[in-house]
Amino acid sequence: MIYESTRDWAMNEFGGAGFADVRWQRRLVAVGTQAARRPAGKVSEVFGNAADRQGAYALLECDDVARAQIAAAMFAADARRCVGLAFVYVPVDGSSITLTDQKQEKGFGSIGARKFGARGLKVISALLVSPQGVTLGLGSQIWWTRTGEAKKQRHGRRRTEDKETQHWLEAMQQTRQTFDDNAPQTCCWFQLDREGDAWPIITEADKEGHWFTIRGNHNRRVVSEGGSKTYLRSLVGLQPVACTYVLPVSAGPARSGRGANMVVRAGTATLDFRDKRTKKHFSKTVNVVLAREEGTTPAGEKPIEWLLLTNRPVESTEDLAQIIYGYSLRWRIEDFHRTWKSGACNVEEMQLRSVEAAEKWATILAGAAVRIERLKHLARKEPELPATNEFSPIELRAIILLRFGNKGRRQIANGTVPTIKQAVQWVAEIGGYTGKSSGGPPGSTTIARGLREVLAAARVITAMESNCD
């Protein structure tokens, strides 16, 4: 997808909302444009002009503008970006948006442990990631609030539709429907962490020809021919070594940096599921991949281990490598949450007064966060792409002038088109990136800060040239 400007991006993301009043449609695109130019949690920080700020509040508080319409337009646009791909990875994960509600008058629900009194919204998001590892958009977002007192009934005795597990099912259902409508030839490959190791989620993920990979959290009982008790880890641990690879592990507070020697075993298992509410047993056959560190674990640390359940066919070591790589991309959604909540968009700083308005604003900012993540990963995964795929000529002129000053005029005059890696690097440097603190490539925060400067400068250049005409 090639954009002529940030407004062109906003038109693509939100232009299909289809409100009955076309004026609200234009307003939404304008609000989305400015949110991408100056992402911030507080509406007042995004819109410096009083009239624009009042227009944004009017949109967010209008009963005729539904959050579901805004989201559906964005999800459809992002799914269309996947047309032509055989599959996309879809990391799914939940998060909490903590918001100010001291008097408990805004309709927000409990967040975290109830005794601490935090208030806000709960959300599960499905991120779309290309086979190369580039963030493409969002496939769904399911919002809810925790209301009332904590339920006394035992968790296992409630129906699935009465548990928060239901929201995970809805996120996958919404994503599949969006792709059926907009990219029917593209397979969704859902990627879930250990929280997804529950029979309702596994059953839901294994529908309509789509794939899943879920990190195992339970040593489940396996159906065996002789009826003897056999368990998943024992079964897969007896399989022959399929392949090995070295996993680069960065140092952390309780982790030593190293190249971890990962040994991969794989097999097929029929899992014995039990519905605790009805006491009924049923089974499902899945492929199982165990990647476990052997021989490189430092003393006092646990070996790295991934036990992955998947319905992706496994016929070669290349298939195994793709399954493991796909699960490694699940962390993309945590990057998105960080950019959305604190790294760039600061959605938790919003001060809106209703659930619906908060969800609408958070949805618009989610689009801005995805765009920042997309630029970051394009620069890393497809660095040789021309920068004109994501930036307009005016925006590129602003980048070069802000980064190089008068020296950049010669580059502009020559018509040189930088690569996406170069352009994103320059944007990040405008935003304060030096590379000294991490030594790694630019991150979301410095890219977001640079974009604010660049897009403001681009508007000035456009205005000055229009006045000259």
User: What is the DSSP-derived secondary structure letter of residue 252?
Assistant: B
pLDDT reported for residue 251: 81
What radius of gyration do the chain's Cα atoms show?
A: 24
Residue length, the chain? 469
User: Can you give the pLDDT of all 469 residues of the chain as single tens digits?
Assistant: 555 578 899 999 999 998 999 999 999 999 999 999 999 999 999 998 999 999 999 999 999 999 999 999 999 999 999 999 999 999 999 999 999 887 777 889 888 766 667 899 999 999 999 999 999 999 999 999 987 654 545 555 667 766 888 999 999 999 999 999 999 999 999 999 999 999 999 999 998 889 999 999 989 989 877 767 889 999 999 999 999 999 888 787 878 999 999 999 999 999 988 888 888 888 899 999 999 999 999 999 999 999 999 999 999 999 999 999 999 999 999 999 999 998 899 999 999 989 999 999 999 999 999 999 999 999 999 999 999 888 988 899 899 999 998 777 776 667 778 999 999 999 999 999 998 666 689 999 999 999 999 988 988 888 888 776 5
Q: Are 369 and 336 in contact (CB under 8 A)?
A: yes
Angle at 219 between CA 217 and CA 220, to 5 degrees: 105
User: What is the DSSP-derived secondary structure letter of residue 304?
Assistant: P
**Integer distance in angstroms from the first to the last C-alpha of the chain?**
30
- Tens of pLDDT, residue by residue over 93-130, are 999 999 988 777 788 988 876 666 789 999 999 999 99
Which residues are CB-contacts of 6 (< 8 A; sequence separation ≥ 6)?
Answer: 33, 36, 37, 392, 395, 455
Which tokens go with 396?
Answer: 């590129």
Count other Cβ atoms within 10 Å, centred on residue 214: 27
User: Is 28 exposed, middle or buried, given 0-12, 13-18 or 19+ CB atoms closer than 10 A?
Assistant: buried
HEC profile of 325-351:
HHHHCCHHHHHHHHHHHHHCCCHHHCC
Alpha helices per DSSP H over 64-198: 67-80, 165-182
**Residue whose C-alpha is closest to residue 352's, from 3, 60, 46:** 60
pLDDT reported for residue 115: 65
Angle at 294 between CA 292 and CA 298, to 5 degrees: 110
pLDDT reported for residue 117: 74
For the chain, list the domains and their CATH numbers: 85-340 (3.90.350.10), 387-468 (no CATH)
Rounded CA gap, 258 and 164, in Å? 38
Question: Residue type at 163?
Answer: K
The residues pairing with 285 across neighbouring beta strands, listed in sequence order, are 270
pLDDT reported for residue 94: 95
pLDDT reported for residue 164: 86
Q: Is the dihedral of CA 100, 101, 107, 109 positive or negative?
A: positive
pLDDT reported for residue 337: 96
pLDDT reported for residue 416: 78
CA distance to 29, 37, 56, 428, per residue, from 45 (Å): 18, 11, 12, 21
Rounded CA gap, 398 and 423, in Å? 11
pLDDT reported for residue 155: 52
Rounded CA gap, 180 and 150, in Å? 38
Which residues are CB-contacts of 368 (< 8 A; sequence separation ≥ 6)?
Answer: 32, 35, 36, 39, 344, 345
Query: Beta strands 258-274 and 281-293: pairing type?
Result: antiparallel
CA distance to 31, 81, 232, per residue, from 169 (Å): 31, 24, 24
pLDDT reported for residue 121: 95
